[in-house]
C-alpha cells in the first residue's frame, strides 16, 4: 500500500473516531441529571418563560432530532451557544486554544531538548554517575503529579526567589509574531522575553513528566539498539563511533519513541488542563474547569470535541511521520 | 496460575534489586498506614486548633511579620482616640506535638497525610479492580470471539483514547456529581480505637467514625482506565486462542466461559498483574488531580490538601509540600514494584497512564 | 612459502560477568599468511567467534582482550611507530594491541574487515543497503583525503548533520562517488540490477543476496585480512555453496587473506589451506589442512573427524562427542587439559596445564603441526588412565 493510501485510510478512521467523540459528548449531556434551563434561570421563574427557554435551546425536540442537529452543526463550525455568555461556543473555544497550544508545544520542546540527550548519555555511559542521575530523575519525573510540581515551583522560584511570575499570560505568541511581521522588532523582542518569562514555569510543570518518560524510553531503546549486530557490523567496517551512535543507533531508537509520545499526547492535554489551573493560564483547560463549575454544558461539550479532534489529527500526523522514518512499515 | 518458576524469578529479581525492595517497603507502609489510620494518627484529621495554625514541620522555623495591637504595661495604647498597632516579628517554631506541622486551620498534617492515604488507596485499589474487571471481561471476549465483538471493542477503545483521561474524568464527574458512601470504620465502631489509643497514649480525641468511599470517583477512574486492561487481555486472548490445548479443550466440548476462565485468563494474568500495579499509580495520580481541582468531593485527600495549602503558599510551604511528597513516594513505590514485576515476569507490555 | 600477514600470540579474552570471569579465549596463537584461507573450527561455545572479534578489536563490555599480541605486517605503520613506540614494532610488523585507539579503529576497513553470521541482523533495517555499503567506502575516501582525521572520533561528522540524520532519512555523510562505488561492489559480488537494489532496504533482500551485500560491504575498504564468522550458517544449503565459491573467487582476485570461522568441517575441508581446531578457548591442534585431517593427534580432533573416511567425502556436521562443552568460567576450569573429562584417552598426566607440542613425533608430516596434548610426546598408557567417574567425584568433593 502506498503512503497516500495509508494516509487516506488513517484519515477515514480518524473521521470515525471524531464522530465517536461527538456522539459520546452528546451522550454525556443527555445522561447528565438536571435541566440545562436551570443554569440560565433563577429557581422560581414563571413556567411560561421556562418553556420558552427550553424551546429556544431545542430541548423540547425528540432526542434523535437534537442529536442530528448537534452533529450537523459541527462541520459548519456551529457548536451551539454558551449558556452563560450567550455567545457562540466555537468562538470561545478558539479564543482559548492558542494559549493551550503554546503551553503544549513549549512543554514538548523542553522535553525533547532535555530528554533525548539525557537518554543518550545515560545509555552510552552505563553505571556512570550521569546514568544514575538520569535514572533517578526519570523515576521522579514520572511519579510526580504535575500540579504539585507547579505549586512547588511557584513557592520556590516565584515566591521565595522572585525569579518568575506566579501566573498569567500577559502576551500571546501571536502578538510577538504580529509585531515581528510589522517590523517592530524592539517591541517584538520585549514581548518575546515577557512571554518566555511567563511560560517558563508552566512549561517545566507540564513538560517534566514527558521529559522523564522520553528519557526512559530513549535510554532503554538505545541500550536495546546498541546490542544489535548491525552496530557491531558498522564498527567492523570502520565507521567512527559518533556516526554509529547518532546516524544509526539514535535514529532507530527514536522511531518507536515517536509512537509512544504520539500516544501520550492525550496525557499532555490532560496535564495542560491542570497546569493551567495552577498558573491561572487562560487556555482550554481553564475554560473546561470554569464551564464545569458553571455547568455550561455547550462550552464543555465544544471543548471536549476540539480536544478529541485535535488528538486524532495529531495522531495521524505522528503516524505519517513514523511511516516516513521507518521503511519497514507495512501500512496496515 | 502463578507457577513455582514465576515465583523463583520474582525472588531472584528481588534479591538483585535494592530498588524493588525499597518499592515494596514503601507500598506496604502506605497500605498499612491507610488500613490502620485511626490507630496511628496522632489526631483526628478534622480537629482544628486555630492557636496552632501553620506550625512548620520539625527542623524548620518560620518568621513572619504580624500587625498586632500595641500594649504597654498590659493595657492597650490609645493615641488620638485610635488603637495603635505595631509590626511584630512572630516566630513559628516546630513542636513535637505536630511533627509535620499544621495547616491553615491548625489541623495536624501528619494525621491528614495518614487519613489521606486511605482515600488514595481506596480509590487506587477499588478503581483499578473495577477497571480490570470491565477491561479484562471485554478484552478477553473480544480477543476470543474476534469478529464484530472485537471490531466494536477496538473502535470503542480508539474513541476512549481520544479523550485525555483527566478531561474525561472531569466531564463524567460533571455528569454524575460527587456521590460518596460512608461505611462505618470497623476499628472505631468496635471501640477498639478508643481502647488502643488509651493504651499507647495517643490523644483520645474522637476519630472519624466513617470511612468515606468516593463512589463517583472510583467509577469514573475505572471508566477512564479500563481500555488499557482491555487492550492487554485482548492481545493475550488472541495469542492463546490459537494454542493447541485451547483447541483441544474446545474439541472436548468445554463451553466458552469454561475455556475463557480455565485456559485463557490464567495465561493473561501475568501481564494484567503488571499493568494493574502501574494503573494503581496512575489512578492515584488521577484521583489527586481531581481532588486538587476540588472535583472529587473528598475532604481528606492528598490532592485536596495541596490545593488548600495554596492560600498560604507565600508563608507556609509545607502545607502543600508534604501531601505531595506522600503522593510522590507512593507512586514511586508502585512504579518500582511494577518495574520489578515486569523484569521478573517479562510479559512485554508498557505501562501507560498518568495525569 | 608466502609471508605471514598476521601473527597472533597468546591472545586472552575474558568476560567479567555476574556469574564470574569467563575465559572465552585462553592463550590462542596462530599465523595467517598472505593470500591463504585460514580456518578456525570448533563447537559453539569454544571461543572461536570471540577470537574473531578480538582480532578486529570489537570485543564489547563486559568482555576485554586482557593480554597477548596481534602482529600485523604493515610497513607504513611500522615506520610511523618505530621511534614513537618501539615496543609495538618488530621489523615490518606492528602489534595492533599496542597502537593508539584511533589508529586501531582506522585499521578496520583497509586492513581488517569482518562478515557476520546473520546478514539480516547485520544491516541497519532503516537505511538502504547501498547507503550502508557506501558508508564503508566513504570512510576510506575520507581517510585517504585526510589520514589524521580518520583517527578522530567524529571524522568531520558534526552535530548539525547528526541531528538532521536522526530525523530525516538523508545521505549527508555519503557522497555520490561512494554510492557509485557501492553499486560497483554490489555488481562484483554478483547481485543483479545493482543500481536498483542499492536503493532497497535490507528487508527487501533475500538472505543469500544480503550475505553477498555484506561481503561487498566488507570489501569496500580493500582489506588485507577478511574475518568471516560463520558466513553460511544462517543460509539455505544451496545458497551456502554459492557464497563459499564467491568468497574463494574474491579472495583469489583480491589476493587477500581470509580467516574462516566455522563449526562446519565441510566448509573447512573445502575452503581452507591451514586450520586450527578450537576447544574451550584454546587452539588444541593446528597445521595444514591435509596434515591435521589425515594425521590428527589430539583425541578431540580425532573425535571430530571420526566419521570422515576421506577428504573427498567429508561429513558436513560435527560428530557428537560424549559430554558437554565446559563452562569456561575461570573458577571452574582448574589446571588441567580442558578436554580430559570427555577424553577417551585421559591419563594422570592430563591433570596439569598442557603446552603446545610439535606433532612430528606423533607422525605428523608437516613441521608446523602443533598440538596441545601429551600424546604428542608419549604413547597412551592404560595403567595411568583416569577411571571413568574421576571428574564427577572431583565435583562432588568440591561441592562439599
Radius of gyration (C-alpha) of chain A in whole angstroms? 24
- Please write the tens of the pLDDT for every residue from A27-49: 887 777 666 666 666 667 777 77
* Subunits close to B (at least 3 CB pairs below 8 A): A
Residue A216 CA, chain-centre distance (Å), reads: 20
Residue A331 has pLDDT above 70, yes or no: no
Do A195 and A109 have their domain in common?
yes
How much of chain B exceeds pLDDT 90, in percent?
18
The CATH superfamily of B4-59+99-345 is: MetI-like (1.10.3720.10)
DSSP state for residue C369 in the 8-state scheme: -
**CA dihedral in degrees (B340, B345, B347, B350; nearest 10)?**
0
Do A70 and A197 have their domain in common?
no
Contact B158 A13 (CB under 8 A): yes
Query: Whose CA is closest to C38, among C261, C241, C232, C224?
Result: C261
**CA dihedral in degrees (A290, A292, A297, A301; nearest 10)?**
90
Query: Whose CA is closest to A150, among A95, A103, A208?
Result: A208
Rounded average pLDDT over B67-90: 75
Query: Whose CA is closest to B303, among B330, B276, B279, B277?
Result: B330
A16/B contact by beta carbon, under 8 A: yes
Do A237 and A182 have their domain in common?
yes
Min mean pLDDT across B18-27, B218-227, C230-239 is at: C230-239
Do A63 and A204 have their domain in common?
no
How close, in Å, is residue C265 to chain A by CA atoms?
Answer: 25
Residue B350 has pLDDT above 60, yes or no: no
Output the CA torsion sign for B133, B138, B139, B144: positive
Contact B310 A147 (CB under 8 A): no
- Minimal-distance CA residue of chain C relative to A242: C154
Contact B313 A300 (CB under 8 A): no
Strand C370-371 and strand B71-72: pairing? unpaired
Domain carrying residue A45 = 3-76
A327 interaction partners in chain C (CB closer than 8 Å): 125-126, 128, 169, 201, 203
Distance of alpha carbon A272 from alpha carbon A146, whole angstroms: 9
- Please write the tens of the pLDDT for every residue from A205-245: 999 998 998 998 888 888 888 888 899 999 888 888 888 88
Rounded average pLDDT over C107-114: 88
Query: What's the Cα-to-Cα distance from A228 to each of C109, C121, C125, rounded to whole Å?
Result: 20, 7, 11
Query: What's the Cα-to-Cα distance from A37 to each of A33, A44, A299, rounded to whole Å?
Result: 12, 12, 15
| Residue A277 contacts residue A289 (beta carbons within 8 Å) | yes
For residue B171, name the pLDDT band (cuts at 50, 70, 90): confident
- List the grid coordinates of C4: 605471514
- Minimal-distance CA residue of chain A relative to B305: A148
A149 interaction partners in chain B (CB closer than 8 Å): 324
What residue spans define the domains of chain C? Answer: 127-222
How close, in Å, is residue A216 to chain C by CA atoms?
Answer: 18
The secondary element (H helix, E strand) that includes residue B349 is: none
Domain end call among A46, A76, A106: A76
Residue A149 has pLDDT above 90, yes or no: yes
- Minimal-distance CA residue of chain B relative to A146: B355
Do A71 and A101 have their domain in common?
no
Distance of alpha carbon A38 from alpha carbon B335, whole angstroms: 45
Do A67 and A188 have their domain in common?
no
- Minimal-distance CA residue of chain A relative to C60: A232
Query: Whose CA is closest to C326, among C12, C22, C20, C10?
Result: C22
Whether residue A82 lies inside any domain: the answer is no
Whether residue A137 lies inside any domain: the answer is yes
Radius of gyration (C-alpha) of chain C in whole angstroms? 23
What residue spans define the domains of chain B? Answer: 4-59+99-345, 60-93
Strand partners, C8: C30, C70
Contact C122 A235 (CB under 8 A): no
Whether residue A155 lies inside any domain: the answer is yes
Contact A237 C220 (CB under 8 A): yes
For residue B222, name the pLDDT band (cuts at 50, 70, 90): very high
Radius of gyration (C-alpha) of chain B in whole angstroms? 26
C58 interaction partners in chain A (CB closer than 8 Å): 232, 235-236
How close, in Å, is residue A71 to chain C by CA atoms?
Answer: 39
Interface of A with C (CB under 8 A): 228-230, 232-243, 246-248, 250-252, 254-255, 324-328
Do A71 and A105 have their domain in common?
no
Residue B353 has pLDDT above 50, yes or no: no
Reported as half-sphere exposure (CB side, CA atoms, 13 A), residue B304 has a value of: 17
Distance of alpha carbon C143 from alpha carbon C151, whole angstroms: 8
Strand partners, B76: B71
Distance of alpha carbon C42 from alpha carbon C40, whole angstroms: 7
Contact A237 C203 (CB under 8 A): no
Give chain B's largest Cα–Cα span.
103
For position C394, what pLDDT does the model report? Answer: 66
Min mean pLDDT across A175-179, B349-353, C217-221 is at: B349-353
How close, in Å, is residue A234 to chain C by CA atoms?
Answer: 8
Residue A141 CA, chain-centre distance (Å), reads: 18
Rounded average pLDDT over A238-265: 81
Whether residue A247 lies inside any domain: the answer is yes
Whether residue A87 lies inside any domain: the answer is no
- List the grid coordinates of C225: 585480512
Distance of alpha carbon A330 from alpha carbon B4, whole angstroms: 40
Min mean pLDDT across B132-136, C76-80, C326-330 is at: C326-330
For A32-61, where are the alpha helices, taking DSSP H only? 36-40, 47-56
Do A12 and A104 have their domain in common?
no
**Helix-then-strand count for chain B, H and E:** 14, 8
Q: How confident is the prediction for chain C on average, in pLDDT?
A: 82
For position B193, what pLDDT does the model report? Answer: 85
Q: How many residues does chain A have?
A: 332
B320 interaction partners in chain A (CB closer than 8 Å): 148, 151-152, 155
| Residue B128 contacts residue B283 (beta carbons within 8 Å) | yes
Interface of C with A in 135-194 (CB under 8 A): 135-136, 139-140, 143, 150, 152-155, 157, 162, 165-167, 169, 173
Task: For cell 578522530, name the residue.
Answer: C152
* Subunits close to A (at least 3 CB pairs below 8 A): B, C
For position A330, what pLDDT does the model report? Answer: 55
Contact A28 B175 (CB under 8 A): yes
For position B135, what pLDDT does the model report? Answer: 92
- List the grid coordinates of C25: 579465549
For position B113, what pLDDT does the model report? Answer: 92
Distance of alpha carbon A331 from alpha carbon A9, whole angstroms: 9
CATH classification of the domain holding A249: 1.10.3720.10
* Subunits close to C (at least 3 CB pairs below 8 A): A
Do A9 and A46 have their domain in common?
yes
- Minimal-distance CA residue of chain B relative to A308: B162
Residue C74 has pLDDT above 80, yes or no: yes
Distance of alpha carbon B318 from alpha carbon B109, whole angstroms: 9
- Minimal-distance CA residue of chain C relative to A327: C126
For residue C322, name the pLDDT band (cuts at 50, 70, 90): low
For position B348, what pLDDT does the model report? Answer: 43
For position B280, what pLDDT does the model report? Answer: 93
Rounded average pLDDT over B5-24: 81
B162 interaction partners in chain A (CB closer than 8 Å): 17-18, 20-21, 266, 308, 311-312
**How many distinct structural domains can be found in chain A?**
2
Residue A81 has pLDDT above 50, yes or no: yes
Distance of alpha carbon A104 from alpha carbon C147, whole angstroms: 48
Amino acid at each position: 500500500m502506498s503512503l497516500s493510501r495509508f494516509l487516506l485510510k488513517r484519515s477515514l478512521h480518524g473521521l470515525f473516531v471524531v464522530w465517536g467523540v461527538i456522539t459520546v459528548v452528546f451522550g454525556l449531556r443527555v445522561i447528565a441529571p438536571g435541566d440545562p434551563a436551570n443554569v440560565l434561570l433563577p429557581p422560581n421563574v414563571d413556567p411560561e418563560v421556562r418553556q420558552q427557554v427550553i424551546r429556544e435551546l431545542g430541548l423540547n425536540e425528540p432526542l434523535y432530532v437534537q442529536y442530528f442537529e448537534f452533529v450537523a452543526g459541527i462541520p459548519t463550525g456551529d457548536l451551539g451557544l454558551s449558556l452563560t455568555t450567550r455567545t457562540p461556543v466555537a468562538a470561545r473555544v478558539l479564543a482559548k486554544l492558542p494559549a493551550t497550544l503554546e503551553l503544549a508545544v513549549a512543554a514538548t520542546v523542553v522535553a525533547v531538548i532535555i530528554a533525548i540527550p539525557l537518554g543518550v548519555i545515560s545509555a552510552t555511559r552505563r553505571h556512570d554517575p550521569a546514568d544514575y542521575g538520569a535514572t533517578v530523575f526519570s523515576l521522579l519525573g514520572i511519579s510526580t503529579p504535575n500540579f504539585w510540581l507547579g505549586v512547588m515551583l511557584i513557592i520556590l522560584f516565584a515566591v521565595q526567589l522572585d525569579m518568575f511570575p506566579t501566573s498569567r499570560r500577559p502576551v500571546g505568541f501571536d502578538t510577538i509574531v504580529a509585531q515581528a511581521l510589522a517590523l517592530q522588532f524592539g517591541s517584538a523582542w520585549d514581548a518575546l522575553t515577557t512571554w518566555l518569562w511567563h511560560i517558563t514555569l508552566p512549561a517545566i510543570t507540564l513538560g517534566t513528566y514527558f521529559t522523564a518518560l522520553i528519557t526512559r524510553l530513549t535510554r532503554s531503546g538505545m541500550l536495546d539498539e546498541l546490542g544489535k549486530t548491525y552496530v557491531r557490523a558498522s564498527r567492523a567496517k570502520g565507521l567512527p563511533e559518533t556516526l554509529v551512535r547518532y546516524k544509526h543507533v539514535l535514529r532507530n531508537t527514536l522511531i518507536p519513541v515517536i509512537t509512544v509520545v504520539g500516544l501520550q499526547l492525550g496525557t499532555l492535554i490532560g496535564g495542560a488542563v491542570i497546569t493551567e489551573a495552577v498558573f491561572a493560564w487562560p487556555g482550554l483547560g481553564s475554560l473546561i474547569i470554569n464551564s464545569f463549575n458553571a455547568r455550561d454544558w455547550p462550552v464543555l461539550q465544544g471543548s471536549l470535541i476540539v480536544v478529541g479532534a485535535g488528538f486524532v489529527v495529531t495522531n495521524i500526523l505522528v503516524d505519517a511521520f513514523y511511516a516516513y522514518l521507518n521503511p519497514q512499515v507495512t501500512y496496515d | 496460575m502463578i507457577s513455582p518458576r514465576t515465583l523463583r524469578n520474582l525472588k531472584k529479581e528481588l534479591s538483585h534489586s535494592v530498588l524493588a525492595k525499597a518499592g515494596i517497603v514503601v507500598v506496604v507502609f502506605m497500605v498499612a498506614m491507610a488500613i490502620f489510620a485511626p490507630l496511628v494518627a496522632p489526631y483526628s484529621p478534622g480537629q482544628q486548633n486555630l492557636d496552632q495554625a501553620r506550625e512548620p514541620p520539625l527542623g524548620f522555623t518560620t518568621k513572619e511579620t504580624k500587625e498586632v495591637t500595641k500594649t504597654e504595661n498590659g493595657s492597650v495604647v490609645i493615641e488620638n482616640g485610635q488603637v495603635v498597632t505595631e509590626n511584630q516579628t512572630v516566630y513559628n517554631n516546630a513542636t513535637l506535638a505536630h511533627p509535620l506541622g499544621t495547616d491553615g486551620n491548625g489541623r495536624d498534617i501528619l494525621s491528614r497525610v495518614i487519613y489521606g492515604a486511605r482515600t488514595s488507596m481506596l480509590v487506587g485499589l477499588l478503581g483499578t479492580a473495577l477497571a480490570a474487571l470491565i477491561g479484562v471481561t471485554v478484552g478477553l471476549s473480544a480477543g476470543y470471539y474476534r469478529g464484530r465483538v472485537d471490531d466494536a471493542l477496538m473502535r470503542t477503545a480508539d474513541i476512549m483514547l481520544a479523550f485525555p483521561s483527566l478531561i474525561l474524568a472531569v466531564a463524567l464527574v460533571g455528569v454524575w456529581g460527587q456521590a460518596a458512601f460512608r461505611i462505618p470504620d470497623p476499628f472505631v465502631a468496635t471501640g477498639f480505637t478508643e481502647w488502643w489509643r488509651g493504651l499507647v497514649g495517643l490523644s483520645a480525641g474522637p476519630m472519624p467514625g466513617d470511612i468515606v468511599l468516593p463512589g463517583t470517583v472510583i467509577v469514573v477512574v475505572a471508566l477512564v482506565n479500563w481500555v488499557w486492561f482491555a487492550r492487554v487481555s485482548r492481545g493475550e486472548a488472541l495469542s492463546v486462542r490459537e494454542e493447541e490445548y485451547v483447541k483441544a479443550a474446545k474439541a472436548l466440548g468445554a463451553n466458552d466461559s469454561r475455556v475463557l476462565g480455565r485456559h485463557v485468563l490464567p495465561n493473561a494474568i501475568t501481564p494484567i498483574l503488571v499493568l494493574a500495579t502501574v494503573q494503581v499509580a496512575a489512578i492515584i495520580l488521577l484521583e489527586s488531580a481531581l481532588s486538587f481541582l476540588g472535583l472529587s468531593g473528598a475532604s481528606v485527600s492528598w490532592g485536596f490538601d495541596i490545593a488548600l495549602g495554596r492560600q498560604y503558599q507565600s508563608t507556609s510551604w509545607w502545607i502543600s509540600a508534604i501531601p505531595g511528597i506522600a503522593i510522590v513516594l507512593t507512586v514511586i513505590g508502585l512504579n518500582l514494584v511494577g518495574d520489578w514485576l515486569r523484569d521478573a515476569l517479562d510479559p512485554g507490555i508498557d505501562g501507560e497512564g498518568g495525569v | 612459502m608466502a609471508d605471514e600477514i598476521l601473527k597472533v600470540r597468546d591472545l586472552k579474552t575474558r568476560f567479567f560477568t555476574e556469574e564470574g570471569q569467563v575465559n572465552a579465549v585462553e592463550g590462542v596463537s596462530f599465523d595467517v599468511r598472505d593470500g591463504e584461507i585460514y580456518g578456525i573450527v570448533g563447537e559453539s561455545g569454544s571461543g572461536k567467534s570471540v577470537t574473531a572479534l578480538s582480532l578486529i578489536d570489537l570485543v564489547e563490555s563486559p568482555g576485554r582482550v586482557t593480554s597477548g599480541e596481534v602482529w600485523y605486517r604493515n610497513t607504513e605503520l611500522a615506520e610511523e611507530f618505530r621511534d614513537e613506540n618501539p615496543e609495538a614494532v618488530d621489523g615490518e610488523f606492528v602489534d595492533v594491541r599496542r597502537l593508539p585507539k584511533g589508529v586501531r579503529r582506522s585499521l578496520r576497513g583497509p586492513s581488517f574487515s569482518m562478515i557476520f553470521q546473520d546478514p539480516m541482523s547485520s544491516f541497519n533495517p532503516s537505511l538502504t543497503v547501498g547507503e550502508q555499503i557506501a558508508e564503508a567506502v566513504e570512510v576510506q575516501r575520507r581517510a585517504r583525503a585526510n589520514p589524521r582525521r580518520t583517527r578522530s572520533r567524529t571524522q568531520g561528522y558534526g552535530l548539525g548533520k547528526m541531528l538532521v540524520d536522526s530525523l530525516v532519512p538523508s545521505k549527508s555523510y555519503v557522497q555520490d562517488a561512494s554510492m557509485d562505488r557501492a553499486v560497483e561492489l554490489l555488481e562484483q559480488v554478483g547481485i543483479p540490477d545493482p543500481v536498483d537494489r542499492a536503493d532497497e532496504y535490507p528487508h527487501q533482500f533475500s538472505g543469500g543476496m544480503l550475505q553477498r551485500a555484506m561481503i561487498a560491504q566488507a570489501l569496500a575498504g580493500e582489506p588485507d585480512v577478511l574475518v568471516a564468522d560463520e558466513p553460511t550458517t544462517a543460509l539455505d544449503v544451496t545458497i551456502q555453496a554459492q557464497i563459499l565459491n564467491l568468497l574463494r573467487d574474491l579472495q583469489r582476485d583480491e589476493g587477500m587473506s581470509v580467516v574462516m570461522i566455522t563449526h562446519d568441517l565441510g566448509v573447512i575441508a573445502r575452503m581452507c589451506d591451514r586450520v586450527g581446531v578450537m576447544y574451550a578457548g584454546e587452539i588444541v591442534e593446528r597445521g595444514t589442512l591435509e596434515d591435521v585431517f589425515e594425521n590428527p593427534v589430539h583425541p578431540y580432533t580425532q573425535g571430530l573427524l571420526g566419521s570422515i573416511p576421506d577428504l573427498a567425502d567429508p561429513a558436513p556436521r560435527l560428530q557428537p562427542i560424549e559430554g558437554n562443552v565446559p563452562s569456561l568460567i575461570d573458577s571452574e576450569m582448574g589446571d588441567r587439559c580442558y578436554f580430559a573429562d570427555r577424553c577417551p584417552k585421559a591419563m594422570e598426566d592430563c591433570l596439569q596445564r598442557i603446552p603446545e607440542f610439535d606433532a612430528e613425533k606423533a607422525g605428523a608430516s608437516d613441521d608446523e603441526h602443533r598440538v596441545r596434548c601429551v600424546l604428542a610426546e608419549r604413547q597412551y598408557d592404560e595403567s595411568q588412565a583416569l577411571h571413568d567417574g574421576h571428574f564427577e567425584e572431583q565435583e562432588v568433593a568440591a561441592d562439599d
